[in-house]
């Protein structure tokens, strides 16, 4: 894969959710067991574009743009993994059973702590 393979076009079903005062952008791809992709700092859900088709072949992939990243604007609150975890958790009803860790796993751990039963 080369840099030419990357695109800025959204290929999934993009939508916004109003959670915790934030207008949070996220995309969904595929069907099946939920798999959430959490980007690291300075990234966005779009960075997973090249691998989403393979993951979506067996999962419902959810790729949010966290606060102040990608198509989600910033609001007047700290960029804090606990707040971003709560934002992410608000998208997940029921919670997913599979994860792609990011940001050293801090957001994933925080969401897991907020929602008993996540694996």
List, in order of start, the domains of the chain with CATH numbers: 12-114 (3.40.50.1820)
| Calpha distance 111→92 (Å, rounded) | 10
Residue 42 CB neighbours (<10 A): 8
pLDDT of residue 118: 47
pLDDT of residue 74: 96
Per-residue pLDDT of 17-51, as tens digits, reads 999 999 999 999 999 988 889 998 889 999 999 99
The strand order across the sheet containing 59-64 reads 13-19, 22-29, 59-64, 33-37, 98-100
Give the sign of the dihedral formed by CA 3, CA 84, CA 86, CA 76. negative
pLDDT of residue 117: 53
Q: Percentage of the chain surpassing pLDDT 90?
A: 47
Residue 108 has pLDDT above 60, yes or no: yes
Residue 75 has pLDDT above 60, yes or no: yes
């Amino acid at each position: 894969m080369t840099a030419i393979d990357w695109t800025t076009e959204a290929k999934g079903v993009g939508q916004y959710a109003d959670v915790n005062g934030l207008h949070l952008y996220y995309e969904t791809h595929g069907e099946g067991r939920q798999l959430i992709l959490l980007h690291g700092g300075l990234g966005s859900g779009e960075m997973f574009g090249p691998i989403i088709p393979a993951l979506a072949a067996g999962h419902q992939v959810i790729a949010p743009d966290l606060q102040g990243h990608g198509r989600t604007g910033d609001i007047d609150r700290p960029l804090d993994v606990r707040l971003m975890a709560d934002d992410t958790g608000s998208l997940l009803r029921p919670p997913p059973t599979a994860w792609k860790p990011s940001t050293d796993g801090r957001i994933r751990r925080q969401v897991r702590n907020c929602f008993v039963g996540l694996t």
